[in-house]
């Protein structure tokens, strides 16, 4: 499987809409789309999005006729893109007012995407993640990082420009690269846990890429800093957008040179080697929990586990009474 298809299997990836980059500077076209009856608007308030909770939660996308005064009150309107019939916008509503929750209560309630993300159809989740990431960026860049002057949104929300005539600096949306790695040695893999995580929860080793560092350098450094393990044979696996708040998770595998764990930088409370038999026994005993099955951390663990001739990991988890592998914990 090529890297594109492997990454497309990750949740929040493979957003199906056309971002129409060349239309972002066409102010006349954007204004027409804002008034188009077929336009859909994704309201974002306090980093939360609107969901209707019936038999199953569904994201609420408002039609133009349902917008009322929201277009006038939104702090930023972001053009997301278009599919065959619909143009999509995200609305960043002022955080200092809770009235929006009351005004839109007839449609649903505002919730963090983490709460319902695993229950959504993948293309819906990808669209909401895109809206969440961009509105978060706008809130963090209302002032210029060079001179401190106010910035304004242009290009349909895909660029901000400093209004100080002596500056005029341009700012573009950013995402923070973070590596996440499944380290293995023989028939065992290495997982760690932070003290703030739920009891029994373990995941692959992760950390942010630092300036002046390649992705592979970050893999080697983070694993050693957190666990004392030296690795080689670093291989790219896939990537996953992770808008909590603004990361791209870059998945890797690596082979351990030694197996002597030493917790080095106090990031982790514990780190352990697990065999596939350890997984089976501890999962059945209820003393181990793995990352949500829509996270790239789970995909890395799953691909390693399924390389052996055993019952596939998801099938095994489904056989454990009460085990919820869609719960988002990481």
| pLDDT tens-digit map of 36-60 | 999 999 999 999 999 997 678 899 9
The predicted pLDDT at position 186 comes to: 93
Is residue 79's pLDDT more than 80?
A: yes
Yes or no: say if 64 and 86 are a contact pair by the CB < 8 Å rule: no
pLDDT tens-digit profile of 195-217? 999 999 999 999 999 999 999 99
Mean pLDDT, rounded, of the chain: 93
pLDDT tens-digit profile of 168-205? 999 999 999 999 999 999 999 999 999 999 999 999 99
| Predicted TM-score (pTM) of this structure | 0.92
Is residue 251's pLDDT more than 70?
A: yes
CB atoms closer than 10 angstroms to residue 115: 13
The predicted pLDDT at position 119 comes to: 85
Yes or no: say if 325 and 317 are a contact pair by the CB < 8 Å rule: yes
The predicted pLDDT at position 53 comes to: 78
* pLDDT band at residue 330 under the 50/70/90 scheme: very low
pLDDT tens-digit profile of 138-147? 999 999 999 9
The predicted pLDDT at position 12 comes to: 93
pLDDT tens-digit profile of 112-122? 998 887 888 99
Helix, strand, coil percentages, rounded to 5, for the chain = 30, 30, 40
CA angle 219, 223, 228 (to 5 degrees): 150
d(CA 6, CA 200): 29
Is residue 98's pLDDT more than 70?
A: no
Structure tokens at 173: 């949306």
The predicted pLDDT at position 235 comes to: 98
What is the C-alpha end-to-end distance of the chain, expressed in Å? 26
d(CA 294, CA 327): 9
The predicted pLDDT at position 329 comes to: 45
Question: How many Cα atoms occupy the beta-carbon half-sphere of 26 within 13 Å?
Answer: 9
Backbone angles phi, psi at 168, to 5 degrees: 70, 20
Is residue 328's pLDDT more than 60?
A: no
Yes or no: say if 306 and 314 are a contact pair by the CB < 8 Å rule: no
d(CA 88, CA 3): 28
């Amino acid at each position: 499987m090529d890297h594109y298809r492997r990454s497309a299997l990750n949740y929040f990836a493979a957003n199906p809409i056309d971002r129409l980059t060349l239309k972002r500077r066409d102010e006349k076209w954007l204004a027409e789309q804002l008034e188009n009856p077929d336009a859909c608007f994704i309201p974002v308030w306090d980093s939360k999005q609107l969901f209707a909770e019936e038999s199953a939660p569904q994201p609420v996308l408002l039609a133009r006729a349902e917008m009322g005064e929201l277009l006038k009150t939104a702090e930023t309107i972001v053009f997301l893109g278009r599919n065959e019939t619909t143009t999509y916008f995200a609305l960043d509503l002022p955080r200092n007012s809770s009235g929006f929750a009351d005004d839109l209560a007839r449609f649903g309630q505002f919730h963090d995407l983490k709460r319902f993300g695993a229950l959504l159809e993948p293309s819906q989740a990808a669209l909401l993640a895109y809206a969440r990431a961009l509105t978060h960026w706008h809130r963090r860049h209302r002032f210029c990082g060079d001179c401190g002057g106010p910035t304004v949104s242009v290009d349909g929300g895909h660029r901000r420009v400093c209004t100080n005539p002596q500056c005029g600096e341009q700012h573009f949306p950013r995402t923070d690269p973070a590596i996440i790695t499944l380290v293995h040695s023989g028939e065992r893999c290495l997982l760690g846990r932070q003290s703030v995580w739920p009891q029994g929860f373990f995941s692959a080793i992760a950390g942010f890429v630092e300036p002046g560092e390649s992705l592979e350098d970050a893999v080697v450094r983070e694993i050693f800093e957190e666990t004392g393990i030296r690795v080689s044979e670093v291989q790219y696996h896939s990537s996953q957008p992770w808008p909590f708040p603004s990361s791209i998770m870059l998945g890797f595998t690596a082979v351990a040179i030694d197996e002597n764990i030493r917790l080095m930088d106090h990031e982790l409370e514990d780190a352990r080697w697990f065999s596939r038999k350890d997984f089976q026994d501890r999962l059945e005993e209820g003393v181990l929990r793995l990352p949500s099955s829509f996270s790239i951390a789970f995909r890395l663990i799953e691909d390693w586990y399924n390389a052996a001739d055993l019952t596939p990991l998801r099938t095994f988890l489904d056989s454990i009474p009460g085990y919820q592998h869609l719960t988002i914990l990481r």
